[in-house]
């Protein structure tokens, strides 16, 4: 099956700094990538959807200036958490899909962000 | 908005069958999925079913869909300790994003 990787798997940063998380589709071209956030013992919350070469579409309540998403190529999307605060600590999961009507969506292994 | 509900916890004994239930509200759901999440890991697609199907079986996994009641279930036969995880039900309509349930934490007791 299709593989999606994320890097890093875990990151600890200090308050006020920025951290970038990479999401790559390894064996397919991801026309659409999704970024989710998962709080402990909770379900996934969709943060934004990005199509290659265009601006991301953010879900209601997600600050676009705080969570910068770049989808510069068909195999790479990045999420940058700017001026991180402890409340940004969470598990971030990316997902990728090929095509607009395709029902198959593949998830990365997640990145655990801890802001101290 | 559309909603997906699941019971939050399920405990079974090793070797027994597990049945995880899910209900959804979107009558236009086209695809329904079961994902497995182990601690500290991402989501692993277990199986999916199209809305025009009633049942799908894949080795130890059986998915039943009652479209009239908008009810989906996942049965795991001969449950093993390695099946302990959180299981997410998700639905998707054509052209729409996934909607996930809250997840069911399955504990397998020896």
- Per-residue pLDDT tens over the stretch A91-115: 999 999 886 555 678 899 999 999 9
Cβ contacts (< 8 Å) between B94 and chain A: which residues? 101
Mean of all residue pLDDT scores within chain B: 92
Cβ distance A44 to B102 less than 8 Å, yes or no, reads no
Check pLDDT > 90 for residue B64. Answer: yes
Please tell me the distance from the alpha carbon of residue A8 to that of residue A109, in angstroms, as a whole number. 10
A109 touches chain B (CB under 8 A): yes
User: Chain A closest CA to B50's CA: distance in Å?
Assistant: 10
Give strand pairing partners of A97.
A32
**Among candidate residues B103, B92, B102, the one with its CA nearest the CA of residue B2:** B92
Phi, psi of B15 (to 5 degrees): 95, -20
Record: contact B43-A107, CB cut-off 8 A: yes
| B110 interfacial to chain A (CB closer than 8 Å) | no
- What is the Rg, in whole angstroms, of the alpha carbon atoms belonging to chain B? 13
User: Which of B30, B45, B102 has the CB atom closest to A43's CB atom?
Assistant: B102
pLDDT tens series, chain A, 116 aa: 678 999 999 999 999 999 999 999 998 888 889 999 998 878 889 999 998 888 899 999 999 999 999 988 889 999 999 999 999 999 999 999 886 555 678 899 999 999 99
Instruction: Judge whether A104 and A28 are in contact, CB under 8 Å.
Output: no
């Amino acid at each position: 099956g299709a593989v999606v990787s994320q890097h890093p798997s875990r990151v600890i940063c200090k308050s006020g700094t920025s951290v970038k998380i990479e999401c790559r589709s390894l064996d397919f071209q991801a026309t659409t990538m999704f970024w989710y956030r998962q709080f402990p013992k909770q379900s996934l919350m969709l943060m934004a959807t990005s199509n290659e070469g265009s601006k991301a579409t953010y879900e209601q309540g997600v600050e676009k200036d705080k969570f910068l998403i770049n989808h510069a190529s068909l195999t790479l999307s990045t999420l940058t958490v700017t001026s991180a605060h402890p409340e940004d600590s969470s598990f971030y999961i990316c997902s990728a899909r090929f095509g607009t009507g395709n029902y198959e969506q593949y998830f990365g292994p997640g990145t655990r962000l801890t802001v101290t | 908005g559309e909603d997906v509900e699941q019971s939050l916890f399920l405990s079974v004994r090793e070797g027994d069958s597990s049945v995880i239930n899910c209900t959804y509200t979107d009558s236009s759901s086209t695809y329904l999925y079961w994902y497995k999440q182990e601690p500290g890991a991402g989501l692993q697609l277990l199986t999916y079913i199209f809305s025009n199907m009633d049942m799908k079986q894949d080795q130890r996994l059986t998915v039943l869909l009652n479209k009239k009641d908008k009810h989906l279930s996942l049965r795991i036969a001969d449950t093993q300790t390695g099946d302990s995880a959180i299981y997410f039900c998700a639905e998707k309509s054509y052209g729409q994003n996934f909607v996930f349930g809250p997840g069911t934490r399955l504990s397998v007791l020896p």
